[in-house]
């Protein structure tokens, strides 16, 4: 097996190669003045099982094209198999069509495109919607990035309680609660099928946040809007310290400031996306990914 | 037939729809805070012959992904045929492997990817290397953008002479010379097969640039380096006024200033790529593209 770190592998490639005890190669990478990427595989891969590590944030389109180019190059060089480790998979949230809007369900096309490029196995972490990933015409392995993240949060809190900002994040809250040995709940919401708008239907009323250290968990933080909404609710209901934890720190411009402004005391995440370590506690999930590759089977989600 | 203007159609879609007298639609387009594009086709296209217009510069990767998403959406909606008008095709210059470097020949992958997305016909202009475009597993039509560009240059010059900066651009120089009714030549160069480095082998010695208005022509201007080299040579050999003309004004940062600094008096180009009209005379090539679609056959190059 040969692990190739793509231009946005974020060091995970090197770590998993060392963890798996296999060969490692950094891909050739240049960005030309016109904005085009040049990539290349500078060692022969014919007959080899190749693992390409490439996260797809920031610059999702550039990182996806680079992954397609690298995978297709491995295919042309007659690699025996091509596995793509995509710790954060861009376009995962574009998983529904809203009739009024007429938007494309992009994640299906992205998965088909990666498969077309020669990728037969994919490894990712905390997918936004596991159901849509089933459309991938190959093996999809989900590495357990949630447990190491929860373990990191555990170090800092003594009276935790876990809150999922919506039902989709409930499986993450459940796993966190197991690790932290505490209770958990979620906020009921509804998304308008026509417009995509989200409305809070019902907030959890059966729990007492008073004096609790609230851990708001989600698969990703993008603008921070979802976390802010949950934090405001938690504060209004007497929560003490509030922290936010998400596997993928997409962190669009202003996300950190927005959360801090809503009283989020600390942010926890992983290295599926490069992010400022001074602003968030980040956990390396290379071991979880290496374990997923070793097992060649999807770990349980909860 | 329905013409859909993609996010970077640069107005060409609307013009060709009007020229072809067919229906027109602008695609849905949003860029999310995390950098992902959302696209969509907001009218039914089932059973229709769809033409999607999308140039791929600047932001080549984003524009390519958007094109893939749009084409695949038309395919899902069961369009009868999908034609992509890509006035400027990114990655065209990555058409050779340099052994020492180990780079991927990206243009082949890009062409396969567009075909996979459902595109069976492509229309482009002044391709960097027509030979490599033959790899496209569908119909490839080259619109004649050179003649309208040469006609624009003709308006401003009285004693022209055409110079191709290398042999690849010779077919453009020949067509320009026909339109301008003047002579033409080229600078002999050699590209190192291992490193990709370019060396001037021989400059044209059999022609007199004295008091001529020199038109340096190429398929594209990226950093401007090739034009600068040719302009310096032309000045050293007594040329009077020097202008540069290229179909694709990629114009990487500093390209304009670099050429002006080397004594290039004016820049001519087309609207295959959006560019500052105060800096370059730009010709609309919508009619040439509409003609190409109408003919459904490649116009001659020279």
Euclidean distance between CA atoms A264 and A214, whole angstroms: 10
**B278 exposure class (CB count in 10 Å sphere: 0-12, 13-18, 19+):** exposed
Residue B20 vs residues B4, B16, B85: alpha-carbon distances, Å: 13, 6, 14
Lowest mean pLDDT among A81-85, A153-157, A195-199, A278-282: A195-199
In this predicted structure, what is the pLDDT of residue A300? Answer: 43
In this predicted structure, what is the pLDDT of residue B193? Answer: 73
**B78 exposure class (CB count in 10 Å sphere: 0-12, 13-18, 19+):** exposed
pLDDT-based confidence at residue A31 (cuts at 50, 70, 90): very high
Check residues B30 and B189 and name the one with the higher pLDDT.
B30
In this predicted structure, what is the pLDDT of residue B185? Answer: 94
Average pLDDT of span A275-297: 92
Q: Which residues of B touch A59 (CB under 8 A)?
A: 35, 61
Identity of the residue in A36, A101, A117 whose CB atom sits nearest the CB atom of B40: A101
How big is the A-B interface in CB pairs under 8 Å?
A: 137
Closest listed residue to residue B42, CA positions, set A110, A91, A100: A100
CB atoms < 10 A from the CB of A159, how many? 12
B174 φ, ψ to 5°? Answer: -60, -45
Q: Which residues of B touch A61 (CB under 8 A)?
A: 35-37, 59, 61-62, 64-66
Lowest mean pLDDT among A50-59, A111-120, B94-103, B204-213: B204-213
- Reduced to 3 states (helix: H, G, I; strand: E, B; else coil), residue A150 is helix
In this predicted structure, what is the pLDDT of residue A299? Answer: 41
Identity of the residue in A36, A222, A253 whose CB atom sits nearest the CB atom of B60: A36
In this predicted structure, what is the pLDDT of residue B241? Answer: 95
In this predicted structure, what is the pLDDT of residue A184? Answer: 95
Pairwise CB contact (< 8 Å): A38 & B106: yes
Closest listed residue to residue A255, CA positions, set A247, A238, A267: A267
Check residues A245 and B196 and name the one with the higher pLDDT.
A245
Lowest mean pLDDT among A263-267, B83-87, B201-205, B236-240: B201-205
Percent of residues, chain A, with pLDDT higher than 90: 86
Strands B139-143 and B121-125: parallel
Buried b (16+ CB within 10 A) or exposed e, B5-18: bbbbbbebbbbbbe
pLDDT beyond 70 at B302: no
Lowest mean pLDDT among A39-53, A181-195, B233-247: A181-195
CB atoms < 10 A from the CB of A118, how many? 22
Tens-digit pLDDT profile for residues A210-230: 889 999 999 999 999 999 999
pLDDT beyond 60 at B298: no
In this predicted structure, what is the pLDDT of residue B196? Answer: 72
Both tokens of B35, joined, read: 């950098």
In this predicted structure, what is the pLDDT of residue A301? Answer: 43
- Reduced to 3 states (helix: H, G, I; strand: E, B; else coil), residue A108 is helix
Euclidean distance between CA atoms A283 and A277, whole angstroms: 10
Closest listed residue to residue A281, CA positions, set A155, A184, A142, A173: A155
Identity of the residue in A58, A102, A112 whose CB atom sits nearest the CB atom of B35: A58
pLDDT beyond 70 at B116: yes
Pairwise CB contact (< 8 Å): B102 & A38: no
pLDDT beyond 70 at A43: yes
In this predicted structure, what is the pLDDT of residue B36? Answer: 98
Say if residue A58 is preceded by a cis peptide, omega within 30 of 0.
yes
ipTM of the complex: 0.95
Identity of the residue in B36, B59, B69 whose CB atom sits nearest the CB atom of A109: B69
In this predicted structure, what is the pLDDT of residue B301? Answer: 43
CB atoms < 10 A from the CB of A300, how many? 9
B189 catalytic, yes or no? Answer: yes
User: Is this prediction's pTM over 0.90?
Assistant: yes
pLDDT beyond 60 at A87: yes
Average pLDDT of span A101-129: 97
Q: Are B37 and B85 a contacting pair, CB within 8 Å?
A: no
Q: What mean pLDDT, rounded, does chain A reach?
A: 94
Residue in chain B closest to A89 (alpha carbons) equals B36
SS (H, E, C) A47-97: CCEEEEECCCCCCHHHHHHHHHHHHHHHHHCCCCEEEEECCCCCCCCCCCC
Euclidean distance between CA atoms A216 and A204, whole angstroms: 13
Euclidean distance between CA atoms B197 and A174, whole angstroms: 58
How far from chain centre, in Å, is Cα A73? Answer: 26
**Under 8 Å CB-to-CB from B76, ≥6 apart: which residues?**
A104
Residue in chain B closest to A29 (alpha carbons) equals B103
Give B117→chain A minimum CA distance, Å: 8
Closest listed residue to residue A57, CA positions, set A272, A297, A280, A262: A272
Residue A135 vs residues A120, A127, A203: alpha-carbon distances, Å: 13, 13, 33
Q: Are B231 and B266 a contacting pair, CB within 8 Å?
A: no
Q: What mean pLDDT, rounded, does chain B reach?
A: 94
Average pLDDT of span A128-157: 96
C-alpha R_g of chain B: 20
pLDDT-based confidence at residue A261 (cuts at 50, 70, 90): very high
In this predicted structure, what is the pLDDT of residue B199? Answer: 78
pLDDT-based confidence at residue A254 (cuts at 50, 70, 90): very high
Q: Which of B75, B174, B189, B301 is catalytic?
A: B189
A57 φ, ψ to 5°? Answer: -160, 140
In this predicted structure, what is the pLDDT of residue B207? Answer: 77
Place of tokens 């229906």: B23
Euclidean distance between CA atoms A138 and A112, whole angstroms: 10
Lowest mean pLDDT among A207-211, B109-113, B254-258: A207-211
- Indicate the helix (H) or strand (E) that contains B64: helix B60-76
Q: Where are the alpha helices (DSSP H) in chain A?
A: 12-20, 60-76, 106-116, 130-133, 146-156, 170-180, 225-236, 255-261, 286-295
In this predicted structure, what is the pLDDT of residue A142? Answer: 96
pLDDT-based confidence at residue A297 (cuts at 50, 70, 90): very low
Q: Which residues of A touch B41 (CB under 8 A)?
A: 102, 104
Q: Which residues of A touch B90 (CB under 8 A)?
A: 34, 36
Tens-digit pLDDT profile for residues B257-279: 999 999 999 999 999 999 999 99
Buried b (16+ CB within 10 A) or exposed e, A214-252: bbbbbbbbbbbbbbbbbbebbbebebebbbbbbbbbbbb
Which strands, in side-by-side order, build the sheet including A266-270? A184-186, A160-164, A213-221, A242-249, A266-270, A281-283
Pairwise CB contact (< 8 Å): A106 & B33: no
Average pLDDT of span A26-32: 97
pLDDT-based confidence at residue B300 (cuts at 50, 70, 90): very low
In this predicted structure, what is the pLDDT of residue A89? Answer: 98
Average pLDDT of span B33-43: 97
In this predicted structure, what is the pLDDT of residue B237? Answer: 86
């Amino acid at each position: 097996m040969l692990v190739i770190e793509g231009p946005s592998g974020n060091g995970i490639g090197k770590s998993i190669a060392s963890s798996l005890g296999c060969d490692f190669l950094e891909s050739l990478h240049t960005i030309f003045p016109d904005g085009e990427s040049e990539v290349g595989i500078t060692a022969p891969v014919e007959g080899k099982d190749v693992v390409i590590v490439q996260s797809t944030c920031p610059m999702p389109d550039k990182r996806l094209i680079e992954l397609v180019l690298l995978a297709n190059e491995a295919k042309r060089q007659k690699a025996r198999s091509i596995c793509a480790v995509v710790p954060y998979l861009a376009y995962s949230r574009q998983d529904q069509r809203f009739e009024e809007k007429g938007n494309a369900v992009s994640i299906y096309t992205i998965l088909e495109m990666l498969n077309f490029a020669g990728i037969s196995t994919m490894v990712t972490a905390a997918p936004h919607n596991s159901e849509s990933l089933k459309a991938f015409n190959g093996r999809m392995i989900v590495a357990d990035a949630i447990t190491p993240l929860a373990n990191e949060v555990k170090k800092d809190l003594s009276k935790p309680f876990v809150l999922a900002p919506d039902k989709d994040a409930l499986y993450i809250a459940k796993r966190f609660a197991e690790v932290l040995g505490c209770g958990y709940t979620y906020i009921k919401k509804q998304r308008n099928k026509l417009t995509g708008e989200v409305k809070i239907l019902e907030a959890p009323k059966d729990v007492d946040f008073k004096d609790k250290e609230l851990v708001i968990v989600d698969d990703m933080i993008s603008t921070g809007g979802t976390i802010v909404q949950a934090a405001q609710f938690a504060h209004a209901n007497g929560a003490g310290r509030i922290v936010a934890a998400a596997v993928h720190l997409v962190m669009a411009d202003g996300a950190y400031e927005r959360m801090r402004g809503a009283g989020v005391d600390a942010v926890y995440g992983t290295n599926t996306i490069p992010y400022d370590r001074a602003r968030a506690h980040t956990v390396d999930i290379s071991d979880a990914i290496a374990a997923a590759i070793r097992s060649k089977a999807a770990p349980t989600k909860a």
